[in-house]
Amino acid sequence: MIQNPILPGFNPDPSICRVGDEYFIATSTFEWYPGVQIHRSKDLVNWDLACRPLSRAAQLDMRGNPDSGGIWAPCLSYADGLFWLVYTDVKRLDGNFKDAHNYIVTAPSIEGPWSDPIYVNSSGFDPSLFHDADGRKYFMNVQWNHVSNSVGGHPKHPAFDGILLQEWHPEQGLIGEVKNVFPGSSHGLTEAPHVFTRNGYYYLTTAEGGTGYEHTVTLARSRDIWGPYEVHPDLHVLTAKEAPDNALQRVGHGQIVDTPEGEFYHTFLCSRPLPGRFSPMGRETGIAKVEWREDDWLYLSGGGMAPALTEVPPVVAERRSVVATETNFEGADLPDEFQWLRTPYPERIFQLTGSALRLIGRESIGSWFEQSLVARRQEHAVYRAKTTIAEFAPTTYQQAAGLTTYYNRHKFHALMISRDGKGGRVLSIQSCAGDWPDGALSFPGEVIPLSDGAVDLAVSVDHDRQQFYYRQAGDWLPIGPSLDASVISDEGGRGEHASFTGAFVGVVAFDQTGQGRSADVTRFRYAPEGS
């Protein structure tokens, strides 16, 4: 069976395309470098990382991007012997303005090489590229209206000011008139346009209602790509907004794909909120089987609009078992599950020495520019992570390194090795439990003196609680109180409409003196419940 979410713990805005008998899904990772991940599958059940196409400074530099900025809604397609990836780099999130720049990169195969970006426009976000049967190409995106009183989507119009469409040519760029072809439905907050054709219709699928619990997939169609578009008789194809008990919530924003067997599926963004409605795994990628009916409209197979936890795959496949992952960082490359924040120059913040991951202390935890934090996504409600800081010799309390559960600059817990005011090496917890916008720290629990040498650090997360542990030549010992893990979620702190990335767990170092004090990490293990 296909188990939703099909990409657990991976960020959403899923764009899907099929090339032959292979499916490819592009998802955003926002300000986590390299911004986009593309996964591949032959059965819609098991997915492997195919590539991270934006891997160098010429393609993407997110230093200074705000939390939950960066890459929004990448769109992947295949035409003319090339993969085409369209993406937005969001430089401002707050207030009336959205500074959102749209680009296109291409590659002859999914592994690359991916081209330098072609700039397209900055009129809004969620770009998409449609390849028509006559060879013409069309670019679309949300038009963002900053001259409005709907900051934060209240009221729902007019900041989300319809879907813009314009012809685009690989050599000439945007050509001809730009037209607002779809103002959206009464549900509002219309975004994420994708066009496909069938039986003489152009179908426009959009996301509406925002990425919270009112989220939807809204479908419209027209005989002409330029419109006018009529909306689906049920307005929405997928949503859980009227199904508060459905296991998958916040359903919306996806794309349609057909199979070689002639079936159809629709990807979607979703979350698996835990009791109390908090989503530590963030917005994840799901898929639902859909069907065409006699009226030439698309419907969720089996009826209703809320997708299920399982779907029947197009071919027989067995899902892989849940396993723990562990690395000793002895290779030349960072393991695929790890990412870092914003910078296209990772050698400034970490190095692989052949025996360790060397974190080079830069700016503070939560910096938008140069932060030495290497982490992996939380994919499970219950897990244990542990690491070994083999070598770290701070000379001042302004230098620290350790283990963190991290969402963004105002939502994290960190178990840090540092120095106290008397010059002794110590271990303590530094937390920011959702304090937005100030990001004030708290220091729960005691300060533990440490001797020289390696220190093992661990964290156990169980739904809405987490506990740090440490050991140094002895048994594991708890440190500090049980902490609120629910704040390390989309809904924590500032809330879901400004928090898109999901939770991470990883290692971090900073050096407020500017001297770049390093810490060597020789082990990291992530063990989900049942592994």
- DSSP symbols for 230-269: EEEEEEEEEE-TT-TT-SSEEEE---EEE-TTS-EEEEEE
Token pair for residue 496? 């879901």
- Supply φ then ψ for residue 54, to 5 degrees: -100, 90
Quick one: how far is CA 26 from the chain centroid?
A: 10
- How many CB atoms are located within 10 Å of the residue 364 CB? 16
Q: How many residues does the chain have?
A: 531
- Rounded CA separation 220/240 (Å): 19
Q: CB burial class (10 A; 0-12, 13-18, 19+) of residue 44?
A: buried
Are the C-beta atoms of residues 381 and 274 closer than 8 Å to each other?
yes
Q: Which residues are catalytic?
A: 370
Cβ within 8 Å of residue 69, ≥6 positions away: 30, 31, 62, 90, 91, 92, 93
Of 50, 64, 6, 56, the closest CA to residue 35 belongs to 56
387-423 burial, b at 16+ Cβ within 10 Å, e below that, comes to bbbbbbebebebbbbbbbbbbbbbbbbbbbbbbeeee
- Rounded CA separation 413/380 (Å): 18
Percent composition of the chain: helix, strand, coil (DSSP 3-state, to 5)? 0, 50, 50
- How many CB atoms are located within 10 Å of the residue 157 CB? 17
- Rounded CA separation 34/62 (Å): 9
C-alpha separations of 247 from 133, 271, 277, 404 in Å: 39, 8, 11, 28
Are the C-beta atoms of residues 270 and 288 closer than 8 Å to each other?
no
